Structure 1
């Protein structure tokens, strides 16, 4: 037995069956960002008085480079999830909403890729 009206069933209105996953992923990424940000801020504070060569040497260590890559991935994924909710909540026209989400995802993917390439360039000495 469905609680939706026959018209709603024909139109396909109802749950997208995606909301709970989206909600959980946003919470999980937020929890992942807590220790990553503590590590990142602590590292930046301790390196504030260091030289450029020391910073490059730090990023060249596999653990630091890996942690930076994880931080970048989690930050951008979390941002995409949050921005998608904002777009879906505040843009009412469906076509404009879909276009805005596509553009936002493209821009965020581009920025994430640029960030990853930058870390790789420093990490491998390029």
Structure 2
């Protein structure tokens, strides 16, 4: 039997399937629902909420070459699917790419960047 070990975050464009994968750290999730509390006659208060949920998934990719940073920059605003090392999946878009240079430059060889992204989730229909 084959075993799959997930040890990185995968970002795939939904339209072409192109992928960027790297180890990550600093992952956080946030989910919100639009709503408010309204006051009615007699001082009664009721919660009013909108349908749906707004979600974000923020993470930092580790040790990417400049070519991968440029590729991620070209994907801003395009629908992507993100999977983490636990097999969790998010579909969404990101609008900001923040490359971070390492504190200590490497020796000879390629120069690596850490890249911070915040994915805003969107509704995606799966299936045929």
Q: TM-score, normalised by structure 2?
A: 0.24
Indicate the structure with greater strand content.
2
Q: Which has the larger radius of gyration?
A: 1
Q: TM-score, normalised by structure 1?
A: 0.24
